[in-house]
Chain A
Amino acid sequence: MAIEDLLIDEPGRILLLEGNHAMARAVLEAGVGFSSTYPGTPASEIGDILAKVGPKIPNFYSEYSVNEAVALEGAAGASWAGIRALCTMKHVGLNVASDALHTIAQTGVKGGLVLIMASDAGAYSSQSEQDNRWFSYHTFMPWIEPSTLQEAKDFIVSAFDLSEKYDVPVIVCPSSRICHGMGKIELKPFKKIPEKGKFVSDMTKYANATFFSVEHKKNLLKRIKKLSRNHLKGKLQKEIGFDYNKILEGDSKTGFITTGVSFGYTLEALEQLKIFDVPILRLGLLYPINDNLIIKFIEDRGLEKLIVVEELMPFIENRLKEIFFDAGIKIELHGKDTFPDYHELNIDIVRDHLAKLLNVETPAKIKNIQKIAKKAFTQAPRRDPTWCPGCPHRATFYTLKKVTRDQGVYGCDIGCYAMAIKPPMNMGHWIICMGAGLGVAEGMAHKTDQQVFASIGDSTFFHSGMQGMLNAIYNDSNMTLLVLENKWTSMTGQQPTQTTGLDSHLQPIQPVNIATLAKSMGAKYVRTVDPYNVRSLQTTLIDAMSRKGFKIVVCSRECALQADRTKRKKLSAITRPLPKVIYQIDPERCQKCKECISILGCPAITKGKNEEGEEYYYIETARCTNCGVCYEICPNSAITKTEINLHLEGID
């Protein structure tokens, strides 16, 4: 479906949408006037969609902010001007925004302020797996978890009402499976977005200087208590039009409490075990939790055993233990004594653990399939993700490895270039969090005589590398910083960065020049090179290594995938024959030294067998992006470059 489908104003219409699209749609149904994000998978596409369709929504502003803290602060600004504001990020983004978050929470809102914070149990696209629900305890922010895609959208819309009613920002936390899940979504009516708001000064609310701050916290606690009370009495449900929690009835004395995507896993696992009679309480509002509902759920049904199914840490389970202690309830309780507290859950995991708890067998057929499948899985050669053909990162790390004879210390960071830790490079010696590649290198360089390098992507540089660079310059750390300026935030799907020269909506804007920035911060050794030009990168690195102090080398070359896309789009409009450059391996000259295929490792270079059954290397022309790096590095000059039709112009 086209992204523009999100703008359809037909309440009741059913669309097929991805979770992130459905959540972006909430902007229209909640009358949101401001939205900010820093990209982070699994939530990246929410911001991407809003960047694309945003300009078509009257009175709506959206931006890619430079990092999550700044994104949240901007959203708070819009809220305090009286406009509904949305801020989206991935789970670790909340760490970055955490300082601002704690104080903004106690300050409260004017227009509704909602954060979508996507979790990533299983860390499929993250450096760490963390259970962010604990943030609700120390920020006192209401925490809502949807179980389905429809709920994801509708809960966000309702969260704006909740936020305004109780004067507090609200977090909606979809799991990665919701973000990237797809399903049928029912559209609801639009809400009008006001053209402008107005900030009304109120020192007793917005100024959190010491003498106000405890007061503000006390007031927030009061508001949260009221929310909690209204929730217990069912008043909150009336205010927002529905209940975040729900119960599926059953006669069994064993009950379930679950939340988020674990709800669906529990239902399907029980179906596989042919158990249909257990009562299930699905919690949607996890903070503040509805104590009375839980006590009634147990007492009304005379439950003797309670099973809690939740991903990661025992957040609900621990809270239950507190509730039971206070209410004097004694019940057999299972949760993390049985289920893993790491990785995501799924139907299989829930079923196998439930089978143990409920004394039933996992069907023998399933066990047999698991055994056979595992055998095949271990025999299948890995298919690691690697850099695209022509990726400038490959050229940079290849050259760095050669120049340092693999003897350097290489601090790495997060982005496509993190694939440097995989074969054939094996070069990232640490990956911590955005910006830490450089921060750690700075400190280390003061305490070792090894050649210390740090590599950082341009988006990461602006997110949290600039401060680290200033620190390294100012303290003259003996290290070399490589800024991998590929002009896009590639890892998360090619959002523009401050070097792209395009704004959030891809309109031209003055780009930031990293070399100039470094110089103005006081850096003395600043070089900019094109990594496709292997020789020049080589000389620059050798030169940098021969000098003491802080050195910065900006490796500037556009992301090959994005460059290829733009080129194809441009060329698709041209029908006349176009000039071509073709790189090929001459089998006569090729010594099969493996330099291009294994050490550089471009995936456009592959092996075949000729008629005599002899192995030979060749370049798949359709996949080659003509970066020319293999051509430059082949020690046997076996790679040829053929230029065809050069008298016709039109290609660069």
Chain B
Amino acid sequence: MNAKNIFKLCVIGSLGMATLGLTLMVSALPAAAHGERSQEPFLRMRTAQWYDTRWNPQKTNVNDEAMLSGKIHISEDWPRAVVKPNRTFINVGSPSSVFTRLSSKVNGTPMMTSGPMEIGGDYEYVIKLRGRLPGHHHIHPMLAVNGAGPIAGPGGWMDIVGNYKDFTNPVKLLVGGTIDTETAGLTAGLFWHVVWGTLGFLWIAWFSIRPMFLIRARVLAQEGGDALLNDPVDRVVAFGMLGVTFTLIAIGFFYTDSQYPYTIPLQAGEPKIKSTHLKSDLTVKVLAADYDVPGRALRMTLQVTNSGEQPLSIGEFTTAGIRFLNKVGVANNMDPTYPPEIMATDGLHIEDESPINPGETREVKLDSRDSLWEIQRLMDLVHDPDQRFGGLIMAWDEAGNRHINSIAGNIIPVFTRATAG
């Protein structure tokens, strides 16, 4: 552990202590606040609904490639309090640039700049990364919405091993040759900063090797003092400095221009990405939902109609990047690398577990019960300005085909255990 890390830990530690102290003042709950949990539940449940997130591989060498991928559904029930996703950017939430981003594709289209997203649309993103800074990093996909801020997706741990000194990030230039983004233009930039800085300090030094203030002020106060302070040698130096400055500017400009004959301005266009839509043979309507505060459970009564040809079983409810599964979900959609801290493999209970048959309409009582509701701070729903919840319901047929429905509805809190049933 070197001095830099110790210093960083000290600063982070003291910030953490300050945060903890402040939190204890307002709440008795321990402050395990990591960015994503501090966002309000209604915002996390009803904006971007994240699913199929993958951090691959979980261990990367410096310079090796890794992938962050997954899908988002833009909730139909986008809250009124949040600016609509007219200009969005799929970002990576990481502690500084621990990876560099090599490419980012959304529904197959490169998303290098920001663009609009459609409410109710579905987007699959694939972000190619390159390991840069060794360490154990918590990485989130993020949907940044202009005017609303970043909406963090689920976070997973990714390790980068090796040595930062070996890191390079070469890019092919259109006119031929490659350039490393880590060092491109660094020499020229430092050179000109040193040149101009030196000239600037020389100019100041020229006047500071002589009496600077008190004496000159006294002379200036006298008759003829102004003329006396107008030293001819300073005028010569000023003319010289003007000449040197203009000459250097011209040399720098024309030399650079000849070095890079083909240049383009910054590109500020926007990608127009076509959305896809969720496919499901089920129609799901939220009849009622309540929220058992002490029991840490969300209970929903859904009216589910199967208009397909196969019997379907509900296996997963996912919201705010947190997954609640039952046996069906585990059998069909269990990714062993998914962070266990944001997944409850026995967190979904259905009163009648038999599959919903083709043509059948059934009232389904769904209960997603787990301490994750509290750990992930989704309990705070009751303090939100908008008492609605949302999420994705996933169901599977015998062959393992998935059917996804985005749901949203009103939610009523239940405060005491006595009324919980």
Q: Do A and B come from one complex?
A: no
